[in-house]
């Protein structure tokens, strides 16, 4: 999660994401919606794209995603399609909503409807540091 | 919608999508998950990326999306972030579920939680033709 926070700061956005599998970092990226004119280029989607490209597969099964902010429905669904095993996030969607427009649907609500199970949980230890990113860059 | 169906057939997938604004086709594409090793490369996401790239903006406001299959939560959320005005689809998620694993959350359920309103409706006239794509390519 510390690397995800560092990537968010590097990109001057509140959003950083890292994918790790068996101790190997497969992607460490930030949100690039504005510079790439791509509204789908959230940190988590960028991380999934990069990790899959790196291993030349359509899924990155058994991997962990660390993200500064709880995944929106787009990113939560993408995590399911990518076959991720676990998602760990810092700031919750209700917290993010204080700074930015949101879709008010929690990642767990989306993922519990998926045929492919993905576990998702907050790392409370990093909640304040991730909210500080929102305060700084929103 | 006829163009979306033609693009799906061209890509040999059940999934084609077209974005139109003020009578101009900004994107007409198909799902490229397998050839691009990108689990996020659903037809609708591809269409949004292409339309935004074409107009060099992060949003394609006031546009219509025509898609052979009801958008999954990833694509519905992406449509909201892209500022689309209307979504028209052929086959419903319950129908798609008979052919492929799904996230069992309707597009309207995701979009009603969004701060940015997007209308979404089925074009029943094309439901059978779009289900035929699922039958043929799944």
Nearest to A53 among B37, B72, B83 (CB): B37
pTM above 0.90, yes or no: yes
ipTM: 0.97
Classify residue B66 by its DSSP letter.
Answer: E
Digit-coded pLDDT (tens) for A14-30: 999 999 999 999 999 99
B54 to chain A, any CB pair closer than 8 A? The answer is no
Q: Is the CB of residue B62 less than 8 Å from the CB of residue B85?
A: yes
pLDDT in tens, A33-86: 999 999 999 999 999 999 999 999 999 999 999 999 999 999 999 999 999 999
Say which of A58, A101, A102 has its CB closest to residue B33: A58
CA distance, residue A83 to nearest chain B CA (Å): 9
Write out chain A residues lying below 8 Å of B101, CB-based.
115-116
Query: Within 13 Å and on the Cβ side, how many CA atoms surround A74?
Result: 26
Testing the interface with A: which of B40, B41, B44, B65 to mutate, by most A Cβ within 10 A? B40
If you measure CA to CA, which chain B residue comes closest to A112? B103
Q: How far separated are the first and last CA of chain A, in Å rounded?
A: 20
């Amino acid at each position: 999660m510390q690397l995800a926070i560092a990537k968010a700061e590097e990109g001057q956005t509140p959003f950083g994401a890292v994918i790790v599998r068996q101790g190997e970092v497969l992607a460490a990226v930030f949100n690039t919606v504005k510079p790439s004119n791509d509204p789908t280029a959230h940190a988590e989607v960028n991380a999934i794209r990069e990790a899959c490209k790196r291993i030349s597969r359509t899924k990155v099964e058994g991997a962990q995603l660390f993200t500064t902010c709880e995944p929106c429905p787009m990113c939560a669904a993408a995590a399911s399609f990518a076959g991720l095993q676990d998602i760990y996030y810092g700031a919750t969607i209700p917290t993010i909503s204080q700074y930015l427009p949101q879709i008010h649907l929690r990642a767990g609500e989306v993922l519990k409807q998926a045929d492919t199970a993905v576990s998702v949980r907050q790392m409370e230890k990093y909640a304040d540091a991730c909210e500080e990113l929102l305060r700084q860059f929103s």
